Structure 1
Amino acid sequence: MELSKNGTFVGRVWLPQEEGPALVAVRAGVLFDITSKDAPTMRDLAEMDDAVGFVRAQEGKAICNLDDVLSGRAANPSIPRLLAPCDLHAIKACGVTFARSMLERVIEERAAGNPDLASKIRERVTAVVGDSLRNLKAGSLEAAKVKEALIEEGVWSQYLEVGIGPDAEVFTKGQIMSAVGYGDEVGLHPISRWNNPEPEVVLVVDSQGRVKGATLGNDVNLRDVEGRSALLLGKAKDNNASCALGPFIRLFDESYSIDDVRDAELDLRIEGEDGYVLTGRSSMKEISRDPLDLVAQTIGPHHQYPDGLMLFMGTLFAPVEDRDVPGQGFTHKIGDVVTISNAKLGALVNTVRLSTECPPWTFGASHLMRNLAARQLI
């Protein structure tokens, strides 16, 4: 994995000798421990007015080569392993933010989670909607007219409401400290039979609503569970190892900004143990809402996050290619290796398992505080 040489990349690793995490900066292919009393957590670093200046001013301690971690040698218990790059941040997500994937949510709802019905419903909905949603701005007068037309045709949906209406869908993707990182297993709830990865750009937002950087994320999607009922969204989204983030946070500096996020192109590659390969792309240029609008709808006078938040912004990727059964589209198989990549953010790689078979989540916020206190960092 190549990281931009002029970018400011920070992350978290597990230090076996400390039995806890450390903040790291990536410099010339080497990970430097920059954990300190001033920034014992990623939350504390992100809250700084000049986080980039702070990172650059830290001499740090070289702990390992990046290649050693990425090559799998981190399985050696003596070598640090990458963690999700956030810690005390809330993990939030905005859904139905792209026209193409929005139609797939309508199809899931109409099919009530049954993949056998998806193909015929897709044909009908597409015939009614056509390309009218592609360049539609959510909440605009044009969007209101499309809403009226869809209601008349009898295909209006709660997913179209949040997709083109004034209010974005915002939900909790995972609990604080629950996300997995690069190289970890990502989990599917065992009740699901129709699911897929969701490659997304994830914003790092501080407690004042300021966007400090970005990373990559996999917002694992259980199409059948959420499709049966929108009230099952929490069960479909928040499970053991169902949220992956990483590999690093790229902080906003002179080389990277919110405009780079707006222009981001994400590549997706799924490799099955049986030799199956699926590739896809998601372009932030086609998002229906501006990233800063999504931030404003998530944090503000109506909702505070004193430790900041990570914000998934949705995906254009909607897998309709049949994997096994004609008309049923794509679904994961255990052992799939999912790679989400972007030229400016690196690559996030995870292997698919059942949530019940992924390592249990045992290190939470209380454990973090005790560990940092024992190391005299707080």
Structure 2
Amino acid sequence: MLLARFSTADDPTPRIGRIDGDSVQELDAAGDGLTLSALLHAENPAAFVQSLGAGPVHSLGAVRPLSPLDVQEVWAAGVTYKRSQVARMEESEAAADHYDRVYSADRPELFFKSTAARVVAHGGPIRVRADSDWTVPEPELTLMISPAGKIVGYTVGNDVSSRDIEGENPLYLPQAKTYDGSCALGPYVLLAEEPLKPAETTIELLIERGGAEAFRDSTDLSQMKRSLEELVGWLTREYSIPDGAALMTGTGLVPPGQFTLENGDAVSITIAGIGTLRNPVERS
């Protein structure tokens, strides 16, 4: 079951709806509207959605996509794919050994990525920092986690990263990863009614420049070294998430060499079964 958080041209109030082909049907919780927090707090989100009343139906082309968060924090995991390990070692000679060791360590790399208010929705602009000369998109399956630490859904994420800033010194990671326009999520949430099939959960990255393809590559979830449950377990080990959270699970797709995003580019990330997150690029 696919859900979308959206607003309409007539009413900017966020609402949640169920996707059905090219339309979205609003869901209503006892006439009081529905928040993502309420959904994440439900013992069985899928059953909770099924129990809700049905509201108006809208064409997807007529609604404004919103990020799939209302108050949740966004966290991210790093170096969970072999390709990401190699890329991090290439960008930072001084810290190459650190990235090599974190790939094989029991404890994963986890870092804070964004507040809900800063998350860019489908169609909104992602940004390149003015002080970065090497910025790339990082396509990532993103987990929607309940306050109890249960995976209740999945969405598409773009962990935009300034590779030159991170490569200069690993202690600059927060500046390389966390800034306005560096995190995009959406357009839909796939409720976790059954476990994902890793080999069938493909992730594709397309970067367009001047209307032409500049880079395209794909991978699948079977290439991840760590399990999704393992990452959630580490995030919630000593950290409570009373409103739930979103957790980006790392990337296995990295553009080659010194390829960098430029003003006017368009980035599309497609995850099988969830949808395509597309964002234009702006350089501040």
Superposed pair shares fold, TM > 0.5 = yes
Match of 1:202? Answer: 142
Counterpart pick for 2:214 among 267, 277, 285: 277
Q: Distance in 2 between matches of 1:258 and 1:224?
A: 36
Structure with greater helix percent: 1
Q: Give the alignment of 1:298-317 within 5 angstroms.
A: 298-300=235-237, 302-317=238-253
Counterpart pick for 2:23 among 19, 30, 34: 30
Check if 1:108 corresponds to 2:37: no
Structure with greater strand percent: 2
- Note the C-alpha offset of 1:240: 1.2
Match of 1:87? Answer: 70
What CA deviation, in whole Å up to 9, does each residue of 1:142-169 have, x standing for no partner? xxxxxxxxxxxxx862112221111100
Match of 1:158? Answer: 98
Which amino acid letter does the alignment assign opposite residue 10 of structure 1?
A: L
Match of 1:42? Answer: 36
- Note the C-alpha offset of 1:236: 1.2
Q: Distance in 1 between matches of 2:174 and 2:204?
A: 27
- Note the C-alpha offset of 1:343: 2.5
C-alpha RMSD of matched pairs (Å): 1.9
What CA deviation, in whole Å up to 9, does each residue of 1:168-203 have, x standing for no partner? 000011113321111111111111111111111001
Counterpart pick for 1:14 among 7, 22, 46: 7
Structure with larger Rg: 1
- Note the C-alpha offset of 1:276: 4.4
Check if 1:246 corresponds to 2:186: yes
In the alignment, is the contact (CA less than 8 A) between 1:340 and 1:349 conserved in 2? yes
What CA deviation, in whole Å up to 9, does each residue of 1:297-330 have, x standing for no partner? 1013x1111011101000111221xxxxxxx431
- Note the C-alpha offset of 1:214: 0.5
Q: Percent identity?
A: 29
Q: Distance in 1 between matches of 2:105 and 2:123?
A: 37
Corresponding residue pairs, total: 283
Which amino acid letter does the alignment assign opposite residue 164 of structure 1?
A: S
In the alignment, is the contact (CA less than 8 A) between 2:198 and 2:222 conserved in 1? no
Residue 30 and residue 59 in structure 1: after superposition, are their counterparts in 2 closer, same or farther (change >3 A)? farther
Counterpart pick for 2:155 among 203, 206, 215: 215
- Note the C-alpha offset of 1:17: 3.6
Q: Distance in 2 between matches of 1:213 and 1:156?
A: 34
Counterpart pick for 1:52 among 41, 46, 49: 46
* TM-score, structure 1 normalization: 0.71
In the alignment, is the contact (CA less than 8 A) between 1:30 and 1:62 conserved in 2? no
Check if 1:333 corresponds to 2:262: yes
Q: Tell me, which stretches of 5 or more residues in structure 2 are unaligned?
A: none
Q: Distance in 2 between matches of 1:14 and 1:231?
A: 39
SS of equivalent residue, structure 1 residue 259: coil
In the alignment, is the contact (CA less than 8 A) between 1:39 and 1:45 conserved in 2? no
Q: Tell me, which stretches of 5 or more residues in structure 1 are unaligned?
A: 1-7, 70-79, 113-154, 321-327, 357-378
In the alignment, is the contact (CA less than 8 A) between 1:93 and 1:313 conserved in 2? yes
